[in-house]
C-alpha cells in the first residue's frame, strides 16, 4: 500500500471517529434535562367533571427529562388512569411544550353501586359529583351493561314521547327487563319479545292514563303472550288490580 493510500485511509478513519464522537456528544447533550427543558404542559379539552389539578398531579409525576427524552407513553398512561378520562393524546410542540388533548367520559347513566356507564355502555368508576346524580340508574350484572345501555337509549326517547321519564332500568342474567318512571309507574317487560311488548304498552298507555283504571297507576306487567296486567292504587290507598286480556305469562 502506498503512502498516499495509507494517508487517505487514516484521514477517513479520523473523520469517521470524529463524527462518531461528535454524534455521541450531541446525544449526550440532548439528553441533559437542562438542555431544551419542558417549560409548559398544556391541557386542551373542556373538563366538566375531571378536576384539572388532579390531572396535573397525575401527569406531573411522570413528566421528566427534556423536550426529546420525556416519555410520552408514560404521560398518556398516567392521564388515562383517571376514571373521568375517556381518551387522551400527547405530543411535543417545539420548543418547550407538551400538549395533551383530553376527552372526558360522557356519562349516560349511573351503574349499580357507585359506578357509571358511558355512552358506549362501558363501566367506569369515578368520584360521583352533583351533576351526574340526576342521571338514571341502570343496574344488572356487569356483563349486561352494554346491552342495557343500548336498551336505555332505544326506549327512553319512546317513553319520553308519552311524558314518562326513566329513572331506573334493570336487566337480570336472563336479560329480563324492568323499568321505573319518575311518575311512580313501574313496568315489567321480561326477556321475550321486548320490542313487541313495549309497542303494546305504548299503544295502551294513553288509554290507561286517561282512565287511571280506578286509581293511580303503579305497575304494568307486560309478561304475557297477549295483553297486559295493570295494577292501580285507589284513591283510598287500598291496592286494586285490573287485569286486561292475558294468556300465558312469559
Per-residue pLDDT of the chain (250 residues; tens, 9 = 90+): 555 555 555 555 555 555 544 444 344 444 445 568 999 999 999 899 999 999 999 999 999 989 999 999 999 999 999 999 999 999 999 999 999 999 999 999 999 888 999 999 999 999 877 767 789 999 999 999 999 999 999 999 999 999 999 999 999 999 999 999 999 999 999 999 999 999 999 999 998 888 765 578 899 999 998 889 999 887 665 444 444 444 444 4
* Alpha carbons 186 and 176: distance in angstroms, whole number: 14
Give the single-character DSSP code of 205: H
Q: Write down the pLDDT at residue 80.
A: 97
Grid look-up 313487541 returns: 196
242 touches 227 (CB < 8 A):
no
Whole-prediction pTM: 0.78
Q: What is the pLDDT of residue 234?
A: 77
Q: What is the pLDDT of residue 216?
A: 83
SS (H, E, C) 211-233: HHHHCEEEEEECCECCEEEEEEE
My answer on whether omega of the bond before 95 falls inside 30° of 0, hence cis, is yes
Going from the C-alpha of 215 to that of each of 17, 162, 202, 235, the distances in angstroms are: 97, 19, 19, 6
C-alpha R_g of the chain: 32
Angle at 145 between CA 140 and CA 149, to 5 degrees: 110
Q: How far apart are CA 40 and CA 99, in angstroms?
A: 8
Amino acid at each position: 500500500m502506498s503512502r498516499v493510500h495509507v494517508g487517505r485511509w487514516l484521514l477517513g478513519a479520523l473523520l469517521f471517529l470524529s463524527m462518531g464522537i461528535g454524534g455521541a456528544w450531541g446525544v449526550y447533550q440532548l439528553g441533559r434535562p437542562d438542555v431544551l427543558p419542558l417549560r409548559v404542559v398544556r391541557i386542551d379539552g373542556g373538563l366538566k367533571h375531571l378536576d384539572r389539578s388532579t390531572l396535573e398531579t397525575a401527569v406531573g409525576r411522570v413528566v421528566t427529562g427534556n423536550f426529546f427524552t420525556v416519555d410520552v407513553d408514560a404521560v398518556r398512561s398516567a392521564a388515562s388512569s383517571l376514571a373521568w378520562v375517556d381518551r387522551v393524546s400527547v405530543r411535543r410542540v417545539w420548543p418547550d411544550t407538551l400538549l395533551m388533548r383530553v376527552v372526558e367520559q360522557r356519562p349516560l347513566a349511573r351503574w349499580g353501586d357507585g359506578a357509571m356507564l358511558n355512552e358506549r355502555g362501558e363501566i367506569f368508576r369515578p368520584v360521583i359529583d352533583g351533576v351526574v346524580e340526576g342521571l338514571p340508574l341502570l343496574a344488572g350484572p356487569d356483563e349486561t351493561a352494554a346491552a342495557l345501555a343500548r336498551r336505555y337509549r332505544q326506549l327512553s326517547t319512546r317513553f319520553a314521547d308519552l311524558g314518562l321519564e326513566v329513572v331506573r332500568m334493570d336487566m337480570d342474567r336472563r336479560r329480563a327487563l324492568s323499568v321505573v318512571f319518575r311518575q311512580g309507574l313501574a313496568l315489567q317487560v321480561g326477556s321475550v319479545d321486548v320490542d313487541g311488548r313495549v309497542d303494546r304498552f305504548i299503544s295502551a298507555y294513553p288509554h290507561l292514563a286517561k282512565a287511571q283504571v280506578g286509581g293511580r297507576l303503579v305497575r304494568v306487567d307486560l309478561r304475557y303472550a297477549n295483553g297486559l296486567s295493570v295494577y292501580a292504587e285507589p284513591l283510598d290507598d287500598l291496592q286494586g288490580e285490573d287485569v286486561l286480556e292475558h294468556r300465558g305469562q312469559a
